[in-house]
Structures are given as C-alpha cells and as structure tokens.
Structure 1
C-alpha cells in the first residue's frame, strides 16, 4: 500500500521545514500525534530514531534513512510482517511552499494491515498535512 498527498502552503519553505523536521513538537499542533520522543542526541538526520505514539496504534520506533537538510526526510519502522516507510518533503513554490507526504507499507502482512488500518493511515497522513499547513500559515 502506498498513499501520497500534497498541498501548497502559504509560508516560507524554511518555516515549513522547521515545523516538519521539529518532530518532537508535532503533538503541539497535530492531533494524530500523542507523543514523539527522540531516542538519540544531536542533530536530526540519517540514523536519528524516535518513538512515536499515535491514537489507536502501538508505539513505534522510526529511524531516519534519508535526509536532505531543508528539503526532505524519509524514515522507516518495522513490525512483524510489515515495514512502513514515511516520506516528508518541502520545496519552494511561487511565494510559498509545497509539501508532499507519503507512507508505504511492504512485507507479507502489508495487504492485511492495509485492509485493517489503511483508511486510518490515510486519514492520519491527511491530518498531518492539514495540521502542518495550519501551523505554518499562522506564524
């Protein structure tokens, strides 16, 4: 299963990036994030890990696998039978920014997980995008 969404945001790309990459602050403005806890010190980048707690889902540890400062990051989590990869990207567009978010699940249990929680996953990604848009357009 892969789900991708995107939107124009009336904010500077750098401001959007700060909110997007400031993962521990997500619960302040994103209702589908109960808690995000960094599990390491230092700058956020490849190898960074975070424990993410979302309503109705088990706590998951995500690890950043790709990182372009100011532009994008991709992270991954694994559970028995499924690997979930999430992408976050921002680019300049006109006087503002354009954000793309995506999530992809693979593995032998991915079809079952998509059947059980695919609608929730899509709703959570859409909520993450709309929350980011609201947060960054207000500042």
Structure 2
C-alpha cells in the first residue's frame, strides 16, 4: 500500500531541500512527529539513521536507503509484520518547488490494517507538507526582504 501527497511551495528547491534534510527540526513543523534524533553524525546521507517518535506509535529507527543530494531521499523502518518506507522528493515547479511525500507500507500488518492506515497516513502527509510549506515560504520571504550586499 502506497500513499502520496504533493504540494507546491512558493520557495526555491534549495530552501525546500534544506528544510527536508534537517530532519531533527521536523517536530517544529508538524504535529505528526514528536521527536527526531540522529543516530549518526554529519550530513544526511545513504545509511544515515534517525530515531523517530510519533504520536501513538512506538519509537522507531529509520535508515536512509536512497539519497540524491538536493533532490530526494527515502528511508525505512521495520517492525514485526510491517515495513514502512518514507520518500521525500523536491522538484522545480515554475518559480517554486513541488514537495512530494510518500509512505509505503508492506507486510501482513499493512494488509490487515490497510483500510485504517491509508486515511491516517494520507492525513499525516498532508499535515507534514503543510508544515514544510509554511516553514519554507517563511524562509523565502525572509530572503527576499534581506538587503542585498554591494
């Protein structure tokens, strides 16, 4: 089962990407994430891990399984009977950016809980994208208002 949501953001791709890869600040953007703690140091990259706590869910370690700097990353976590993969992709859209979020759930629990999980996952993606939009557009406005250097 895969659920996706895309939202146009009035900010350049580099701004959206910077907010996307700053995973430890995501709890400031959305009520769907309580805490994110990087397990490793340095920039986000293939193999990076983060411990994520979400409301009404046990804490889980997510591992980056795909990474293209400035463009996209995917990560996954596993629990008995369930594998979750989250995808994050930014793409140029006119004078802004489209932010693409996706979640794929597989395993016996995904099949059994699919009718319940699908709307919950979609609602979470919408909230996450709205939080990204608000933060990125605020940063873009701040940049536009900053005086130019001579």
Q: What TM-score comes out, normalization by structure 1 length?
A: 0.95
Name 2:26's counterpart in structure 1. Answer: 26
Measured after TM superposition, the shift of residue 110 of structure 1 is: 1.3
Q: Distance in 2 between matches of 1:23 and 1:113?
A: 27
Q: CA RMSD in A?
A: 1.1
**Residue 68 of structure 2: aligned partner:** 68
Task: Find the counterpart in structure 1 of residue 118 from structure 2.
Answer: 118
How many angstroms apart in 2 are the aligned matches of 1:91 and 1:118?
Answer: 25
Question: Cα distance, 1:127 vs. partner?
Answer: 0.6
Alpha-carbon separation, structure 1, partners of 2:112 and 2:57? 15
**1:90-101 aligned within 5 A:** 90-101=90-101
- The worse-fitting range, judged by mean Cα deviation, of 28-37 and 115-124 is 115-124
Task: Please state how far the C-alpha of 1:39 moved relative to its aligned partner.
Answer: 0.5
Q: Secondary structure at the match of 2:101?
A: strand
- Determine helix, strand or coil for the equivalent of 2:108: coil
**Map of 1:9-48 to 2, 5 A cutoff?**
9-48=9-48
Structure-2 residue corresponding to 1:53: 53
Relative to structure 1, the CA distance from residue 113 to residue 60 in structure 2 (aligned partners, 3 Å threshold; closer, same or farther) is farther
* Kept in 1: contact 2:33–2:54 (CA 8 A): yes
Rounded Cα–Cα distance in structure 2 between residues aligned with 1:34 and 1:131:
14
Q: After TM superposition, where is structure 1 displaced by more than 6 Å over at least 4 residues in a row?
A: none
- 1:59-90 C-alpha deviation (Å, 9 max, x unpaired): 11100000000000000000001111110000
Q: What CA distance in whole angstroms lies between the structure 1 residues aligned with 2:103 and 2:83?
A: 10
The number of aligned residues is 139
- Report SS of the residue matched to 1:109: helix
